[in-house]
Structure 1
Amino acid sequence: MNILILGDAKDAHAAHLHFALTKAGATVEYLNTRLFPTQLQLSWHPHTQKGCLQLPSGQRLDLEDIKSVYWRSFNGVSIPEFGDSFQQDIAFHDANSTVRSLFQACPAHWVNSWQAYEFHKDKPLQLSLAQQLGVTIPATVISNNPQVITEFTKSYEKVIFKPVYGGSHARLVTEYHLEYERMRNALRFSPVTLQEYIPGTNIRSYVIGESVYSAEIRTAAVDFRDDSQAQLIPVELPAEIKQQCLAIAKAFMLQWTAIDWRHQPTGEYVFLEANPSPMFLYFEQQTGFPITEALIQLLIS
């Protein structure tokens, strides 16, 4: 069976899964979109729904012969510089449109899909949908209005801030951040997400198909990703929270995901976010959870 990994061998998680899938008997290739259109060739016939990939190695794969695609990382396309900015823009948008179309037209089993990837980029909507599912979320505001932000921070004992889109870790809001002129100038460039700080412990839950694997992440850091010494302790979630994990994955169109929670001293679980392409090697090594095996089964079954 033909399986593609979106990404390249420089990524440790992509390389790990390439090795594991090959060992399981699959024919595995990397699909690195940064090589399109210079080294990777894509074709699609909308009137017949037929298409194919010509990989840099020279191998040709018809879309219908690809069983599944593992979405590790999507890095866009790469257009050579040729001196004409107008034509450069046209070429860039043409290449992007081709890739986006082919991703959505390819009938393979995607883990995860283009739609899930696009939804993940709109994190405020992710929070809103989680709440509609009956999941508890932190008090949150997304704004570039200094007055709104000031009022929000005064409403809670501690507040954290982070980018709306992601890409940087959460930090506690301090008086330095709230200095009016500094804040006003910063908010002219971009809005920010602020949330009530939730006391408690970090829980990460990996959802793979119908399986849920969870561990407590013990750390004193505001964002556990800042702590390389964080301890991972396997935990059994309450049945209700397990069902919430499955409901979140389904609503977010995710075949697999890592969901981050804060477990409060009161016992309540507060949803923070769901990642459509999480890192898992360290988590698997520390907990012994069979994440690689579960992913293999998801991709080859």
Structure 2
Amino acid sequence: MNILILGNSEDVHAVHLKNALTQAGATVYYLDTHLFPTQLKMSWQPDTQLGCLNLPEGVKLDFQDIHSVFWRSLSSIDLPSYLEPEQQRIALNDSMSALRTLIQACPARWVNSWQAYQFHKEKPLQLSRVKQLGIAIPATLISNDSEQVLKFAQSQPMLVFKPVYGGTHTQLLKESHLEPERLQLVLGLSPVTIQEYIPGTNIRSYVINGSVYSVEIRSPALDFRQDLQAELRPVELPDRVQQQCLAITKALMLEWTAIDWRLSPQGEYVFLEANPSPMFLHVESKTGFPITQELVQLLTK
């Protein structure tokens, strides 16, 4: 059984899962897109649906011989530095178009799929889809219009802000951030996500194989990812919220995910985000959740 891990040996989660899958009897390779197109070779015929990979270590795999792929991380491609700017642009466009096509053309089971990854990249759409399920989300504005930002800021007693795409930590919105010159400068560079601050407790729910494993993350930090000393405590969510976890996973086309909630003082679970490739080793070691075992079962079945 051939299984690929989208990522490389520099990622401890990728290495951990490769070792676990190998112990389970699978043949596992890294699919490192940073090596495309210089070392990693891909081919596909749309008329026959036949494709293959030639990995840098000299292994050739036909698409139909790949059982599953675990999406850990998609790296940027690596182009030769000697290319002229116009050559660089053409090579980048062609390489990325081929890479996106071939990721979607490979019929293996993806955990998670390209479509699920797109939802994660477009976080405002993710929030909208979850809201359509009848699940609470924070009041949120995505905008690069200073007038709309100021109007929204006046509607909430306390706000946070973060990038639309993600990738960095949440911060409290202060009066100094709303100074006209600063606001115009920042919003002229890119839009921003501004959200109602939800007081309460951080809850993270790992959803996989129809199971929900939840942990309360006790931390004084605004963004618990900044707190290496955060206390982790396994919790059992109400049945209604567990069903919401499963509904979110299905609606966002996820095979597995970690859902971040804020549990308000009034007992309301407010959805913040669903991550299609969450880190799990620290939580697993502290709680005993069988996440590695569940992933191995998912990728080998």
The Cα offsets for residues 148-206 of structure 1, whole Å up to 9 and x where unpaired, read as: 11121121111000000001111101111111111111110011101110010000000
Q: Does 1:274 align with 2:269?
A: no
1:10-49 pair list within 5 angstroms: 10-49=10-49
2:199 alignment counterpart: 199
Q: Does 1:66 align with 2:66?
A: yes
2:79 alignment counterpart: 79
The Cα offsets for residues 249-288 of structure 1, whole Å up to 9 and x where unpaired, read as: 1110110110000001111100000001000000101111
Counterparts of 2:46 and 2:182, CA distance in 1: 52
Give the TM-score, by structure 2 length.
0.98
Question: How far did 1:99 drift?
Answer: 1.0
* SS across alignment from 1:189: coil
Tell me the matched-pair count.
301
Q: 2:285 is aligned with what amino acid?
A: Q
The Cα offsets for residues 55-76 of structure 1, whole Å up to 9 and x where unpaired, read as: 0010100000000000000013
Q: Does 1:117 align with 2:117?
A: yes
Q: 2:61 is aligned with what amino acid?
A: L
Counterparts of 1:6 and 1:155, CA distance in 2: 43
1:105 alignment counterpart: 105
* SS across alignment from 1:74: coil
1:257-272 pair list within 5 angstroms: 257-272=257-272
Question: How far did 1:130 drift?
Answer: 0.4
Q: 2:128 is aligned with what amino acid?
A: S
1:211 alignment counterpart: 211
1:170 alignment counterpart: 170
Counterparts of 1:148 and 1:85, CA distance in 2: 38
Counterparts of 1:118 and 1:256, CA distance in 2: 15
Counterparts of 2:83 and 2:41, CA distance in 1: 23
Q: 1:192 is aligned with what amino acid?
A: V
Deviates more, 1:77-86 or 1:45-54: 77-86
The Cα offsets for residues 202-241 of structure 1, whole Å up to 9 and x where unpaired, read as: 0000011211100000011111111111011000001111
Counterparts of 1:130 and 1:189, CA distance in 2: 28
* SS across alignment from 1:169: coil
Question: How far did 1:83 drift?
Answer: 3.4
* SS across alignment from 1:298: helix
Question: How far did 1:84 drift?
Answer: 2.1
Counterparts of 1:103 and 1:259, CA distance in 2: 25
Deviates more, 1:274-283 or 1:144-153: 144-153
* SS across alignment from 1:30: strand
Q: 1:300 is aligned with what amino acid?
A: T
Report percent identity of matched pairs: 63
1:181-200 pair list within 5 angstroms: 181-200=181-200
1:241 alignment counterpart: 241
Q: Does 1:284 align with 2:272?
A: no
Give the TM-score, by structure 1 length.
0.98
Question: How far did 1:147 drift?
Answer: 1.7
2:154 alignment counterpart: 154
Question: How far did 1:81 drift?
Answer: 2.2
1:134 alignment counterpart: 134
Counterparts of 1:58 and 1:121, CA distance in 2: 33
Q: 1:84 is aligned with what amino acid?
A: E
Counterparts of 2:76 and 2:51, CA distance in 1: 20
Question: How far did 1:82 drift?
Answer: 2.8
1:232 alignment counterpart: 232
